[in-house]
Structure 1
């Protein structure tokens, strides 16, 4: 028996909120608090763009077999699902 739609929506919303809060915490710790000093809004805007690019494309992700997300996505779209295996430690 499937869960009622309202219950599923609430779980999905809670998971999304948790993911956003986790990202926000990482963002503050890794960029805002550890970099700088900021001399103006332009410096912050550039740093945020660079951080998002690094986060989405170049960081090594443990859940993706220590591959950058962009590389994993390229492998995933190029390979049949049965050939793709993750090596996590």
Structure 2
């Protein structure tokens, strides 16, 4: 359901659905909505979801990669640059799962 809402552009509704569920600590569900954010111009939702994912799985940095792409999509080039620098400083490596880096 979260995926359907995200694909329909109903990001806040998808976010609320997960927050109110028993599975709110499942980073895979948050990743579904974050992926939907990459086709949206709603960078504030993407930021909230990326923060949630970083808290749940700090060792997985795919949320930072997707957030950087959202910043680029909405023209927030300075923020994308800062996030890319942060990833470089953390030595985040490009993998098949985050090939958009």
* TM-score (normalizing by structure 1): 0.21
Q: Which has the larger radius of gyration?
A: 1
Instruction: Report 1 or 2 for greater relative contact order, CA contacts < 8 Å, sequence distance ≥ 6.
Output: 2
- Higher helix fraction: Structure 1 or Structure 2? 1
